[in-house]
Structure 1
Amino acid sequence: MGIAAVVFDMDGVLIDSEPIWEQVRRDYVDRKGGRWQPDSQRRMMGMTTTEWAACMSDDLGVAMPLDDIATKVIDLMADKYAHHVPLLPGAVEAVQRCAGQWKLGLASSSPRTLIDLVLSKSGLLEYFSAILSTEEIGRGKPEPDVYLTVAQRLGVDPKDCTAVEDSTNGLISAHRAGMRVIADPRPEFPPAPDALALAAVVIDDLDQLTPEVVTG
């Protein structure tokens, strides 16, 4: 049948948000007397809200209720996005280019409030037929649930989807779902080599996300 849909991750693929997440979380951990670790942000990439809040509590020593941790960090991120959405170069054009040929889905680990804020402010909301946060289904990446559910909502078999991902957990998640995987890694947070090896193609930026690359 060929490729029938393209499913994008958001953080690290469409927006350069991982450094912002890291700064917000690190500052919060420091203020609460916790212990930030060099690999903390990389480990939390792809986790659901509940999962990363638990990580900040259990592993980083933030002695606060999980709901309080999640709410405060998300509020801080929303404030950042309200002032500026850090779209990556070529993001809008890549989405528009793909939308001209395929159904589009979004499979993100961000809370739904932040997804909607980013897509609305960037003018990208109209291009996606299925949008899903891992917090809406319970299990985060690297489990395949979010990609499988997006494919189901698009009415497309997962094997007929191409996923665009950047992180270790994201690449594993899309691969486990049975999708063709394109890796667009961020140099600041490179994925593990074994996860990167799951990608059919590795691109340097979204300008390289051409129809030929999508379909292989």
Structure 2
Amino acid sequence: MDFNAAIFDLDGTILDSMDVWEHIDIQFLKKRNLPVPENYVTEICARSFEEAAQYTIDLLGLQETVEGIIEEWNNMAVEEYSNHVGLLPHALDYLLRLKEHGIKLAVATGLPEKLYIPCLK
């Protein structure tokens, strides 16, 4: 190996987490007995949390607050990342192999601590 350190993005590179937010979106609507509108997931992925919550309220005529929706999404994410998100196939084997070769390892992420800490444990 011609390097002595590696930095990996955590979310979606080490963790099998690419479908987490889509799952949260669908479950959020399912709790309210609402179908998933066409292009809904695509529309909210391109927005900030605040914009996505307001879009959801406006689109579906919800009588909820932006803050309440964001809090629910975050709580659902904590549940998902704490209990359902695992490593991508072969990630652990690769990381262990690098470590055996003395490669220093680090992860980088934009996730908030309450999401990445349970995954790292």
Deviation string 1:138-184 (CA, Å, 9 cap, x unpaired) is xxxxxxxxxxxxxxxxxxxxxxxxxxxxxxxxxxxxxxxxxxxxxxx
The answer on 1:39 being equivalent to 2:42 is yes
Distance in 2 separating the partners of 1:95 and 1:70: 34
Superposition deviation, residue 79 in structure 1: 2.1
Superposition deviation, residue 61 in structure 1: 3.4
Superposition deviation, residue 7 in structure 1: 1.6
Kindly report the root-mean-square deviation, in angstroms, between the aligned alpha carbons of the 2 structures. 3.2
Superposition deviation, residue 84 in structure 1: 3.2
Deviation string 1:115-158 (CA, Å, 9 cap, x unpaired) is 000110xxxxxxxxxxxxxxxxxxxxxxxxxxxxxxxxxxxxxx
Find the counterpart in structure 2 of residue 113 from structure 1: 114
Distance in 1 separating the partners of 2:98 and 2:45: 28
Deviation string 1:81-123 (CA, Å, 9 cap, x unpaired) is 4433332111111222233433322222322111000110xxx
- Structure 2: where are the runs of 5+ without partners? 59-63
Find the counterpart in structure 1 of residue 25 from structure 2: 25
The 3-state SS of whatever aligns with 1:61 is helix
Superposition deviation, residue 72 in structure 1: 1.8
Find the counterpart in structure 2 of residue 185 from structure 1: none
Structure with bigger helix share is 2
Return the letter of the residue paired with 1:23: H
With over 3 angstroms needed to count, the CA separation of the structure-2 counterparts of 1:4 and 1:40, relative to structure 1, is farther
Q: Of the two structures, which has the highest relative contact order with CA contacts closer than 8 Å and spacing of 6 or more?
A: 2
The answer on 1:56 being equivalent to 2:46 is no
- Structure 1: where are the runs of 5+ without partners? 45-50, 121-216
Superposition deviation, residue 73 in structure 1: 1.7
Provide TM-score, normalisation by structure 1.
0.41
Return the letter of the residue paired with 1:14: I
Alignment of 1:123-138 (within 5 A): none
Q: Is the 8 A contact 1:81 1:117 kept in 2?
A: yes
Percent sequence identity over aligned pairs: 23
Question: Computing the radius of gyration over CA atoms, which structure comes out larger, 1 or 2?
Answer: 2
Provide TM-score, normalisation by structure 2.
0.65
The 3-state SS of whatever aligns with 1:8 is strand
Q: Is the 8 A contact 1:29 1:56 kept in 2?
A: no
Return the letter of the residue paired with 1:10: L
Q: Is the 8 A contact 2:81 2:119 kept in 1?
A: yes
